[in-house]
Amino acid sequence: MVTAAAPPATPAHPPSIGGEVASALLWRLATSHGLRVADWAVEAAEMGELPVAPDILVAVRGSVRDIAAGLSLGGSAYVELDDDGDLPGGLLPLLAGPPCLHISLSTATCFSLDLAPLLCGAMVARGWLSADRRADAEICLHEAISNAIVHGNLDIHQGPSADAGAFDGFFRAVQVRLADRDHARRRVTVEAVAAADMLCITIRDEGRGHAGRAPTAVEQLEAKSGRGIRIMVELADRVTFTEGGRAAHLHFRR
Amino acid sequence: MDYTVHTAADGLRVTLSGRMTLIDHEKFRNVVDAIEKAEGTVCIFDLTKLEFVDSSGLGMFLIARDVALPKKMEIELFGAQESVKRILQIAKFQTLFRVTP
């Protein structure tokens, strides 16, 4: 006797998805991942005409307005779709767990946005981060995102530490790599998970990784770069690196 | 980040405001150019309106220092807000610059 396989369990309220993208794309994503399609228009959101944001907001090109409006209306995820036009693999399991935020952007978009204040503002508003730790979290997140962009996805490992000329050369290298499609389209992903006693923010890139050591030598005081990890270690409650340095985890006690 | 540069009798006054990050390199290059051309003994960076500085911004201050030192010009970092002051302290900038309240 042949018995039919049990259908996959369907949550009572599957996450919703929305975004100002082609409706066919939205419906394809909703159907393939078991999601509900929800209304979204950034202007309507800014005018207070939408009560809530979709759980997952998608865009072809990420924008500050979209992210800010989505976060302010309770959205959990913002995904700038890549060439495959699909959602990141780990997103749906993440949404099934404790309260979380997930932002996935191309390197080019992430470089053009000031993401850390937006995310930290949302985490304070949701009660995941106390107001008096916001400045610490913001600089740590900012440094981790900068590292993911520059040293991770743009594959620039030599910091501008020699002299002023080297500093200019470093920024030229950043611009050249940002103009290269293969580097510019790599993902930067930021995930924040609010557990009972700890907020953990994970920043992932698609570069070749690093050892994750903080420079400590006194002679590096005058170096023009290399302070990002030191700042994180000083201000976060715990900093760890996994995935060969491609994932930085910032922990803040709640 | 926004900036203004004023010439004073003893050197330069540079006022920085907003957020000083990686993307401000080109703007800060103009500040460095002004320091290169300036006369006097001190360049005071007024940080009272600077809300945020990252590690790249710290590197920019060090470039300004590299340009000023051979001219016998001192760099003073004045009036940093608490969050900016913490970053300056982590970088031990008080050993490299005159940091004033």
H or E element at residue B82 = helix B82-90
Tokens, residue A94: 């993440």
| Ramachandran quadrant class, A62 (left: phi over 0; alpha: psi -120 to 50; beta: rest) | beta
**Is the pLDDT reported for residue A42 higher than 80?**
yes
Which residues of chain B carry a pLDDT beneath 50?
none
User: First vs last Cα of chain B: how many Å apart?
Assistant: 21
CB A229 within 8 A of CB A215: yes
| pLDDT value at residue A3 | 47
In angstroms, what separates the C-alpha of B29 from chain A's closest C-alpha?
9
pLDDT digits (tens, 9 = 90+) for A160-215: 555 656 667 888 899 999 999 999 999 999 999 999 999 999 999 999 987 766 55
Considering only CB atoms, which chain A residues are within 8 Å of B92? 221
Amino acid, res. A71: L
In angstroms, what separates the C-alpha of B40 from chain A's closest C-alpha?
21
Closest residue to B59, CB basis, from A139, A224, A234? A224
Helices A134-147 and A228-235 meet at what angle, rounded to 10? 150
- Per-residue H/E/C for chain A: CCCCCCCCCCCCCCCEEECCCCHHHHHHHHHHHCCEECCCCHHHHHCCCCCCCCCEEEECCCCHHHHHHHHHCCCCEEEECCCCCCCCCCHHHHHCCCCEEEEEEEHHHHHHCCHHHHHHHHHHHCCCCCHHHHHHHHHHHHHHHHHHHHHHHCCCCCCCCCCHHHHHHHHHHHHHHHCCHHHHCCEEEEEEEECCCEEEEEEECCCCCCCCCCCCCHHHHHCCCCCHHHHHHHHCCEEEEEHHHCEEEEEEEC
Q: What is the mean pLDDT of residues A9-14?
A: 63
In angstroms, what separates the C-alpha of B30 from chain A's closest C-alpha?
12
| pLDDT value at residue A8 | 46
Helices B55-68 and A134-147 meet at what angle, rounded to 10? 80
In angstroms, what separates the C-alpha of B68 from chain A's closest C-alpha?
12
pLDDT confidence band for A148 (50 / 70 / 90): very high
| pLDDT value at residue A225 | 66
DSSP code, position B54 = -
Q: What value of ipTM does the predicted structure carry? A: 0.92
| pLDDT value at residue A100 | 95
| pLDDT value at residue A251 | 98
Say yes or no for a CB contact (<8 Å) between B91 and A226.
Answer: no
Considering only CB atoms, which chain B residues are within 8 Å of A142? 21, 52, 54
| pLDDT value at residue A214 | 52
| pLDDT value at residue A170 | 83
Q: What angle do CA A147, A149, A153 make, to 5 degrees?
A: 110
Residues of B with CB under 8 A from a CB of A: 19, 21-23, 25-26, 29, 32, 52, 54-56, 58-60, 62-63, 65-67, 82-83, 86-87, 90-92, 95-96
Cut 0.80: pTM above it: yes
Q: Say which residue, A220 or A16, is predicted with more confidence.
A: A16
Average predicted confidence (pLDDT) for chain A: 89
Best A171, A216, A218 residue to mutate vs chain B (most B CBs within 10 Å): A171
| pLDDT value at residue B13 | 97
CA distance A69 to A58: 13
pLDDT digits (tens, 9 = 90+) for B21-30: 988 988 998 9
Domains, chain B: 1-97 (3.30.750.24)
| pLDDT value at residue A218 | 41
pLDDT digits (tens, 9 = 90+) for A76-112: 999 999 888 999 988 999 999 999 999 999 999 999 9
Segment among A17-21, A39-43, A166-170, B92-96 with least mean pLDDT:
A166-170
pLDDT confidence band for A220 (50 / 70 / 90): low
